[in-house]
Amino acid sequence: MGIPQPSFYIFKCEQSAPPGMPKPSCVNDNTRDLFQHLGMKLMEKGLIATVQPVRTGCLNRCQQGPVMLVEPGHYMYVNLTKEKIDRIIDEHIIGEKPVEEYLIDEEFWDKPLSPVEAMKLSGR
């Protein structure tokens, strides 16, 4: 048997805007340690081999930040705290039930466009 693939990928936005920028940032003094907290909780629960946390740049949902995307399924979690991350791990990752009240509103996270649809919309 080979090395198994991860069951989940968790993409955590680590974008930090410079001071004075008008756009909010997923990483600031109050949220700087959320990625480390995510990794530590996954290790504590013995999940790090099957759940891969990934630091990413901007996920383009700055107004709802801090955010993270759980795959498979395109689940975008918003306004993260350590307590919310703990619950997402317990209920979504382990319990296989997304935490609905932490998910982004459909107004900001509609169904994905295929590449062909995106090309048509841009006139190509």
pLDDT digits (tens), the chain, 124 positions: 788 899 999 999 888 877 777 777 788 778 889 999 999 999 999 999 899 999 998 888 878 889 999 999 999 999 999 999 999 999 999 999 999 999 999 998 888 889 999 899 888 8
Query: For the residues of 30-61, what is the DSSP string, one character each?
Result: TTTTHHHHHHHHHHHTT-TTTEEEEEES--S-
Rounded to two decimals, the pTM is: 0.87
The DSSP bridge pattern shows strands 75-77 and 51-56 to be: unpaired
Q: Find the angle CA(39)-CA(44)-CA(50) to the nearest 5 degrees.
A: 65
What is the spatial distance between Cα 20 and Cα 116, in angstroms, rounded to a whole number?
38
For the domain spanning 8-121, the CATH number is 3.40.30.10
